[in-house]
Amino acid sequence: MRDQTAEKALRERARKLQALHIRLLFCPITQERWLTDSDKVLHAFGLSPEVQDSIPDITTDQFKAESHGRQILVERGIEKTFPETQQCLQATPDAPTFDDFICSESFLDPKSGLPHTSGVGQGYENNSKYFFWLKQTMHLTTPDCDVDLRKNAYTEFATWLVNEYNRPHDPYYDQFEGGLYWVQTPEQNKPIILLGDQLVVYTLNDSKTIEQLPIIGLTNLDDVTPPDWPDEPTLL
């Protein structure tokens, strides 16, 4: 039986190696830094220079093929769910890039996303992680935000949520029955954008109609955030 202290130390070092290798596979920014000064990157990950031999040569075609495959899988998923948002971002000076997302803590942190429809918890898809990351990065809840970008990102994410609701799903997704709504411009009362369960977009200006939306059980997309999902224990 391995001594608990020794196991803890082993896991701690392996945790850092795992974090570095996964960053190198997914994140072009980390790859660039690694090629420029690997010792500095090792230090940033809390690793000593001698572990460098454990890390594969990232300049080989084999490494590039695996890294490209992993990045493209995530990128294609995001582009499929957020096509108009991507176009809008491309036309926006200094907008964050896909690399910024895939190198962010939000991408790595399962708690930055919604629970999966299968019921196994958070972090098993990237669409919700991307939406919440973009919302924060582009300040989409502030009155001076890019309203077009907000409209596209919210509409496309709401469409994804409704589609997830329409499949067999964990009860978490029941809140998206009937569709979702949000205010067109933050901190204004109207107009309200409503995406119905048939994926039709409505623009609502009538205050009485707007007041009815939460009463009939529709969800405000601005209120949807990663929940405090209760994870089960980990075998350690």
Partner 1 sequence: MVLRVGARWDDPAQNDRIQKAHQQGLIDYIEVNYPIPYGSNPHALGIPVLAHTSSNPTCSAEGVNLNIARRIKEAADETNSPWIGEHLSWLGTAPTGSLGYQINPLFTDEIAAITAMNVTRLRDYYNRPIALELGPIYIQSTGYESEMHFLGSVSKDADTKVILDVTHWQIGNRNLDRSLDYGLDAIDPCRIVELHIAGMRLGSDQRFWHDAHDLLPDAEVLSITSQLTEDLPALEAVTFEHSPAASEEAFFQCLRQINDLIGNRRSQVAA
Q: Could you tell me the smallest distance in angstroms from the CB atom of residue 66 to partner 1?
A: 4
Q: Cβ closer to partner 1: 196 or 229?
A: 229
> What is the C-alpha separation between 161 and 158, in angstroms, rounded?
5
* 3-state secondary structure (DSSP) of residue 144: coil
Q: Could you tell me the smallest distance in angstroms from the CB atom of residue 12 to partner 1?
A: 8
Q: Could you tell me the smallest distance in angstroms from the CB atom of residue 53 to partner 1?
A: 7
Q: Cβ closer to partner 1: 157 or 173?
A: 173
The single residue listed with the structure tokens 């029941």 is 174
Number of residues written out for the chain: 236
Q: Could you tell me the smallest distance in angstroms from the CB atom of residue 69 to partner 1?
A: 7
Beta pairing class for 192-196 and 179-183: antiparallel
Burial class of residue 77, CB neighbours in 10 A (0-12, 13-18, 19+): middle
> What is the C-alpha separation between 110 and 61, in angstroms, rounded?
30
Binding interface with partner 1 (CB under 8 A):
2, 7, 10-15, 17-19, 21-22, 25-26, 53-56, 60-63, 65-66, 69-70, 73-74, 107-111, 113, 117-124, 126, 167-170, 231-236
Q: Cβ closer to partner 1: 211 or 232?
A: 232
